[in-house]
Structure 1
Amino acid sequence: MSLLMVNPERPEPVLDAALRGDAALQQAYFDALEHVLPQWLAQHDQDGLTAALATVGKTARARLASLYLNPHGEHDHARLVAVWRDDECRISAVTPDYLRVIEYPAFAFLTNTLNAGKLLNTALPELPLAEQMWLAQLGARRLLALPLLDRGVLFGFVCLLDEEETPHRGTTELRLLGLLAAQIAETLVRRKLEEHLATTQTRLQSLVGATGDMVFEVGANGVIGEAWSGHPALADARVITGRALADGLPASLAAQIGKALPVANVMRRGQSFNWSTRHNGVQVWFRVRVQPVAGGVGDAVVQIHDMTAHMQDHARRQTLLDTFKLLEEAVLDLSPAHELIESSEAWASLRGLEQRDAQRDLGKSLLTWIFPDDVPQVTQVLAQLENCHGETPQVRFRLMQQGGEFLWVEARLLPRFDEECHLAGIRAVVRDVTVAHVSEQHITQLALYDGLTKLPNRLMLDDQLATAIERARRNNTKVALGFLDLDQFKQINDAFGHRTGDQLLVGLAQQLKSVLGEHDILARWGGDEFVVLMPDVTDTNALKERAERLRSITRQGLALDGLDARPTVSAGFAVFPDNASCGEDLLSAADHTMHHAKHVGRNTVCFYGDLLHMKSLGREHVAIQARLADAIRQNRLQVFYQPIVRSRDGEVFAVEALARWQDEKNGWISPELFIPMAEKVGLIQELSDVVARQAFAKLREWRDAGLTQRLMLNISRSQLFAPEFVSGMLDLLLQFRLRPQDVILEITESVALTDYSRQLKHLRQLAAAGFQLAIDDFGTGYSSLSQLHEMPAALIKVDVSFAQRLHTEEGRRVMQAIVQLAQGLQLQTIIEGVESVETARFLQGMGVDYLQGFHFSEPVPSGVAELWMRLGLANKA
């Protein structure tokens, strides 16, 4: 047995040793080396392999030569790929099928020897059983196996078989055979690599050709290397190979690549740019990318991609979008699940959105914006689209807008299907058909909205009123309806013209709407009349507050062509079902009440229920009510002052401002009559404003005269509820150069407890502004200790009824408890109704802080009040 190491990596020393042997043998192997390589390199086919094996077999004086190679990527077996047989050979000419594949694990000795890189030169008896049977099957007596290695890994072997067991090859020849095997292996590896490269080139050429791109290599010197495919607008790839960029490409393209090349290599990142040229009269666009080659020094790969179709598609799409912008119809793309994928600009208009906000609708279902009552109908039509091949169904529905309003729209639906006829998407063209819908509903004879003020008109109001009453019947709630008439509108039109009158109506409509609730409806009835509809009313007090805000908002003024107009309105309200059993009767009741409000003096809010009460007062009271309104507006009310004295020394601590009215016809009218009357007809706030202005003016005079007493001012319920009361009171003080500390505001206990949480907020705002607060008529309300403790009051004015009961033991105990309670809460006390010296001294003994009543002084004009402030009332204390 002979084993000789094959060293393909060091062939020259082996050859040198061989050359020192037999000259003829040397020449034979040189000839073999000279012929084997050209044959295998020139012929990549079976004939070339057979011819090469014949040269090897003859040179080695073998009877049979065969070549076994591993299949690509496999290392556990080798297949017979070529055989040469000497003409006089007695070895079997036919290799059995089971020996055409050598399973390496079955021939362990052969495999281990070859894997070690050694030649196996062994006679049959010396071989293991498996190898012996192999040779015996073929009729061979000696085996010479030459390993074929690629970087130390076995990929096949050359098998030389002899008929005789006697060895006839010396060491030198075996070394030459080892050298020959190494050359064969190198040639096969090179051949395989060339085939792979050729295949890769072909595939790359096909791949690039399929894309329509041009790809080429370019060196740092600007010379084009390999190039693949091409483009009709550029030179053929074969033509530009080996040329400089400027010679092979259009000048502008070559220049841009030349600029991008150093940048790409410095930054080690691809650079891209667009380039265009004309080809056959058509503009062609390309996207060019210069990508540096990893590991290369200045080399890069350039890809030129035709993007003309993309640019044309983009242009067509942009043209389509520009066309969509000109259309009033909205074009929508929907998913099969009805989700909005894309929309034209008209969609934002239909939805009542700004363009920038329309993007928020993307991804949401179309059903999101459909009026709930219309959803089932639209859902049914959308569900049928799966079967609507070639059809464009239409559906009409109400589209909800951003502000809660809706439009009637009509949508034409065009379904799109995939190759399997499944719904792939929906294109919808949506247009506003509100006017057409109104026409079909026979209500186009009058527009739903007033053309001047844009408010709902009578037709819309009738529909909304009917709906509100029906809902109120179901939910057991109430519906309020008010007529508002602009006072003296004819005089404004006559004096300043119809244009100014129209501006006034528009401005007034905006003011009135600003104070209404979300679900309230303001409509223009006609001329200078408006109607407000308030559905789902549950709180009568809240209704009166809202009605008062409607009246007072108009007094804020409107600027009309340089004219500062301060219009007033007369309003009449009626409530369903309290005052009427149907919509028609409710309108009639509110209208009647509004005319009553105008009759009693204008700038007034009346309620139908109060109107019935006023009728019961008789004709004379109605006449007094009318004259009261005139007296307030003409500033004919007077302010009297009642002193409040300090209990311990009789000094005047403050004076309470009280309204007095001397009617031209009936003389002095009791405040117990005209104060409630003013509250009933909505004049109390204006009456309070008149009293405050007169009292502040007088207080300013007293301050200038050196008097320091404070002013007590009664605050009505409507004043306290007014949102701008605090700021208005501060502005009024500022006009007269007074401080909040100069004034004590009196709020009755019952008013302070009305809507307690909100009033507490107002009271705290007043206290924070610097006003001192007094709870008037204390003991007549139902305040709890916790509420009393939370109120930011400094004084309590005990109601006159408690002083009137001091002659009884029970009355004295109650008074004592009230005083002690006030002291415990650190509140000062003012006792009203002190009418005798005995009462005054009894209260002094209890520790009461201040006293007020006819015993000291009735309400008197300002001159008398000033005298008491200067002299004091110690003689009566």
Structure 2
Amino acid sequence: MRSDSVGFSPLGPAEQQALGTYHTYFNAFDSVVNILAHPEEPEYLQDMLQVLGQASASGMTGLYLNEGQRKARLVAAWRRPDCRLLQYTPEPFLHLDYDQYALLADTLAVGMVLNKSLLELPLAEQMLLAQVGVRQLLCIPLLQRGEMFGFLAFLNDDERHQRDSVELRLLSMLANHVAQALVRARLESEALANQQRLRALVGATQDMVFELDVQGVVRQVWSGHPALPAAEQLLNRPMAAVLPYELANELIRALPAIMAGQASRQFNCYLPQQEVSLLVRIQPVGETHERQAVVLLQDVTVLMQDAARKRTMLDTLNLLEEAIVDLLPSGILVEATAAWANLRAIESREVAAELGRPLTTWVHPEDATALQALMSQQLKSLEPASLRFRLLRSDGDFIWVELRLIAHRGPEGRITALRGVLRDVTVAHINEQNITQMALYDGLTRLPNRILLDDEIHRAIDEAARLQHKVALGFIDLDHFKQINDAFGHKTGDELLITLAHRLQGALPEGGLLARWGGDEFVALIPELHDQRQLAVIAENLRLAARQGILINGVETQPTISLGFAIYPDNAESGEELLSAADHTMYHAKHAGRNSVCFYSDIVHLKALGREHVAIQSRLSSAIQHSGLQVFYQPIVNTRSGEVMAVEALARWQDDKSGWISPELFIPMAEKVGLIQELSEQIMLQAFAKLRDWREAGLSQRLMVNISRSQLYLPTFVPQMVERLAQFKLRPSDIIIEITEGIALTDYARQMRHLRQLANAGFVLAIDDFGTGYSSLSQLHEMPANMLKVDVSFSQRLHTEEGRRVMQAIAQMAQGLQLDLVIEGVENIETVRFLQGMGVHYMQGFYFSQPVPPGVAELWMRLGMQART
């Protein structure tokens, strides 16, 4: 060996490992560079990741690119076939949310490498990596001008593979190259796309685009026009030599200003030889020393021809009285013919100033919504539609116009405008209103007549059925109107009807309708009723409105009305049934004494059986003839002692087919068909027989029986009663005869004679339903009555202050007249205590007992009712 030769010591393990790492990554670098140089290859990113994964001995490599500022998407991945990482990539790996992984996001955002084992990571990152079995994670950011736009991920399924600083530095170098290649590929792709868009844009248009230099030489041509020279004839030639004179002349004049940097310019140019109209735009491009001018030639020949035809058409339309208007889909007026000035009462020169404003600007506020709805409808329809509305004139008046509107669509079917014809229909509208007024409104009161009322009733019922609310209908009759007509004449009667109509209409709530039915009858319609209490208030307001004083021939009078109300769907299922129910109820109110309000629900028992009415009436007659009625008894209690003072005999009927029939139905039915005397006879015979049994058993209570009007009128009624009692070994003093206040006051002188006969015979007389017949103190003082039975309606009002005051007044009056007082309808202990406090001790009602069979009544009479007092 030569003495001057240099000796080399062998490499140690660390140096050999480092040299091997460099060798591996330099080979990988060459491969990555080669792969990234061909981004057009479909799998180039996966190929690049495979090289990186094999060089770094990773189980899986992935490329993430940012989407927005806080998310990243896995755009490519490679997995070593023999690794233990999960083959299926879960959704959280596909789309990373940086906000969920703080350590990963913060490390990469500052351009640092994240190299951690699983247990060194925060819980969120641990849970993410554990899904696929990752035990070692390496993430290297991809940067562009210091900003991270993605990262490379290297995943391993064990922690034994540790990377030293040399390997991390080499991987970072590779990542930097990958980042530059990706940025470059993206920029090149965007540039290529922009070029393609420009070519597509210019090639898609029928216009011509070319570029001029400062000397006016054509330097580039992007597209041509049939009426102008081809591109090869234009390139690198002065425009004055190749373009038509008219066009070249205008461009020569505009070019100096454009080259000086002034704004773009636009002008129209007509080429007479070619019969072409051009819209020319010239725009400067480039820096001052390299400035060029781009010229765009747009063929507007068809547009100019259309405009000329349109002007001709407008000149023709201006001869018409109807105004033709063009509106944008939003309703903005963009064009109108001269007739618009006539409608608006303005000068022709003022029409232009009104363009650009919404058509609703001149529409009456009450009609604007309907017009807006019509325009919206036409945007969806192919058929024309019409609307009549009020248009404001410049003098402040409104005229009625009719608009016939249709949508105008472009060639592609899209609506571009709304076109309409407006004509003045004021005279026709007024005539139609007059005809409608005569057809649908009453000529005297101007209220809706039957025809219009019928439509409104059906409309209200349809809406009520749809929205689940109620409709009220009331018949109103003016009391004693015939007497006013006969006494003062029809003219005065008409004036009274007009005044009354005005007052009744004012008493209705908003939305209510008042119609004249005919003569002195009116109908009130309440289309939205919430509850019966609301209707009671409305009815009372109507009654009080009618009661206001009216001067008739200098004399003030206070007319009264009778009202009957029915409710849909409670009382009727149709408009016809509702009218019938209200009419029937009104007549019931009139027969009840006039100046009153009646509700169908209060008299529904009279019609409850409907079609079975006749059949029940027939069975009632049979029951009376064959003694099929029963007598129940209700006690009258002395609350001081708890003893039963008397029992009232009450008729009860259990029908074989319909079961128990209410006495409120069969007793009026018996009166109507003339069976009431036979019914009363049967009840008294049963009651007298039972009273005889009670007397023989040692009971001393009196029997209280009701007497009808027809019985009291019979001349032989008193002697027959005395004789019949004698047959049962009873005395008149054993019987309390109840006569309703209304019967006692009818034909007062005649009834007084009969009442005295009963009193002289020894009967105890009780005035029943006291408070409902309007008797005077003088009449009560003259009646030979021993007892007053106060109507149940008064006890039911004792929960009010007014009701308590009325009851106290009745009690004081009875004490002053030395009459026993029986209060009916007592249903609770509070009523008992209140009445006892006023000194009233005879009471009757469900609190003590309902009407009961004779056996139960006998038990009460024997034991008393101390527990209930």
| Same fold, TM-score > 0.5, yes or no | no
TM-score by length of 1: 0.34
TM-score by length of 2: 0.34
Q: Which structure has the larger Rg?
A: 1
